Amino acid sequence: MTEDYSAFGYTGDGTAEDLLAWALDRYHPRIAVACSLQHAVVAHMASRIQPQVRVFSVDTGRLLEETYECARDLEQVLGVRIEWYFPRHEAVEQLLRSGGTHSFRASVQARQDCCGVRKLEPTRRALTGLEAWVSGLRRDQAASRHGRGKLEWDGAREGLLKVNPIADWSTEQTREYGRRHGLPHNRLLDRGYTSIGCACCTRAIEPGEDARAGRWWWELDGHKECGLHVADWSI
């Protein structure tokens, strides 16, 4: 079923490619693709439509080796250059001095503080000066994402459009697209990982577990989100 996004000025057929083509035509070069380095689906779509599109990723300082390998393969296959953003070293130093290397295990708030320093603040800088950005968010990834639209206003910055072209795709659709186009993916996805972040906060899931169970598994309550894909994330 086609979703109505005419309020955003979009009246296309609602497919991922059509939506992305509209966004790139309307906002390039003031638009960028955020790449989480789990798969290359959205980056591939965007680079086929607009070869000069910006693709960025955040290195939190604690990424898994397989994530760096995925980045390398993605650049080679797609012919793009990933723009890396890093946390401010002063903020990381203060975080470790005040709470230690594993302060994020102390509470949900402490973990969110760590995510704020290592991921949200670098993302804020990556989005500075843009009018729109593209993510690979999907509704089937977590209960907290079930109601997300393919087009929405970023909750943290007034007037910034967030484009989620594959929001209605399933995990299998995403994998099939990658196989069909011979795209690289994070090898951890073949080893039971369903959501990949920092090495200290990510594990493979067990049979029957929720797809987000491998993220911050010591947290029993609350949404399994870093804050980037919630309506009210802030820096």
* 56 part of a folded domain: yes
* 122 part of a folded domain: no
- pLDDT at residue number 234: 32
- The radius of gyration of the chain from alpha carbons, rounded to an integer in Å, stands at 17
Residues with a catalytic annotation lie at 226
Domain count, the chain: 1
The predicted model scores a pTM of 0.90
* 114 part of a folded domain: no
Q: Which residue range is the domain that position 167 belongs to?
A: 10-90+129-192
CB 139 within 8 A of CB 146: yes
* 86 part of a folded domain: yes
Low-confidence ranges of the chain (pLDDT < 50): 232-235
* 71 part of a folded domain: yes
Task: Write the CATH number for 180.
Answer: 3.40.50.620
pLDDT tens for each residue of 178-221: 999 999 999 999 999 999 999 999 999 999 888 888 998 998 76
- pLDDT at residue number 231: 54
- pLDDT at residue number 233: 38
185 φ, ψ (degrees, to nearest 5)? -145, 165
* 26 part of a folded domain: yes
- pLDDT at residue number 85: 98
Rounded Cα distance, 96 and 84, in Å: 22
C-beta pairs of 91-98 under 8 Å, 24+ apart in sequence: 91/117, 91/121, 92/61, 92/117, 92/118
* 223 part of a folded domain: no
* 159 part of a folded domain: yes
pLDDT tens for each residue of 144-155: 566 688 999 987
